[in-house]
């Protein structure tokens, strides 16, 4: 994401252009949490269209919806843990980080394809444990999965931007823990 910001600052990252990493050792998640991921997983940052600002607080869920739809087409029972996590059978398989500077909006997307981080002490008791797509029989290369995601983002996001009220309505069937008591 830092490289994407550098490129955007030099006007070298147009809308829907992206940066993809082969491995990530100093990544960040929401609230500045560390996000480390090895070879074989997907870590990418895409510049979103300027019009995405219309979605405001619905931008993360809109992207989560677009990714969950693509994963479901692959046979992964993907769900959204509002607002920015992707789950499959209650395992966190990915997440989205939105950053905005001026008129530029970047979306960092991480999906565990081949490996997932080992749970730390807190994850064993207080957080959702991590999983990966291989747990669900999906063994795509990161670039192949990214191509599918990017196509879905380019195809679906403009419609959601044009009518932000559609995001909660369309995300509803994909919500994790809907109607369940969560402790």
Give the span between the Cα atoms of 2 and 13, in whole angstroms.
12
Question: Is the pLDDT reported for residue 31 higher than 60?
Answer: no
What's the pLDDT at 183? 63
Mean pLDDT value across residues 118-138: 79
Six-digit token string for 10: 């030099």
Question: Is the pLDDT reported for residue 27 higher than 70?
Answer: no
What's the pLDDT at 134? 93
Q: For residues 27 and 163, which has the higher predicted lDDT (pLDDT)?
A: 163
Give the span between the Cα atoms of 117 and 54, in whole angstroms.
34
List the beta bridge partners of residue 98.
107
What's the pLDDT at 122? 64
Question: Is the pLDDT reported for residue 87 higher than 60?
Answer: yes
Query: For 44-83, b where at least 16 C-beta lie within 10 A, e where not — what string?
Result: bbbbbbeebeebeebbbbbbbbbbbbbbeeeebebbbbbb
Reported confidence tier of residue 117, pLDDT bands at 50, 70, 90:
confident
Give the span between the Cα atoms of 51 and 34, in whole angstroms.
29
What's the pLDDT at 126? 64
Lowest average pLDDT, out of 31-35, 125-129, 132-136, goes to 31-35
């Amino acid at each position: 994401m830092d490289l994407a910001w550098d490129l955007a600052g030099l006007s070298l990252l147009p809308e829907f252009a992206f940066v993809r990493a082969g491995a990530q050792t100093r990544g960040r998640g929401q609230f500045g949490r560390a996000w480390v991921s090895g070879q074989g997983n997907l870590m990418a940052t895409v510049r979103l269209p300027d019009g995405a600002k219309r979605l405001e607080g619905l931008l993360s869920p809109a992207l989560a919806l677009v990714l969950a739809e693509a994963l479901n087409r692959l046979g992964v029972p993907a769900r959204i843990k509002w607002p920015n996590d992707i789950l499959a059978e209650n395992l966190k398989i990915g997440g989205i980080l939105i950053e905005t500077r001026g008129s530029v909006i970047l979306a960092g997307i991480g999906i565990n394809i081949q490996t997932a981080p080992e749970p730390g002490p807190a994850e064993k008791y207080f957080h959702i444990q991590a999983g990966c797509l291989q747990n669900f029989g999906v063994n795509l290369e990161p670039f192949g999965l990214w191509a599918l995601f990017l196509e879905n983002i380019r195809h679906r996001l403009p419609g959601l931007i044009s009518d932000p009220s559609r995001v909660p309505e369309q995300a509803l069937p994909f919500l994790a823990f809907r109607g369940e008591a969560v402790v």
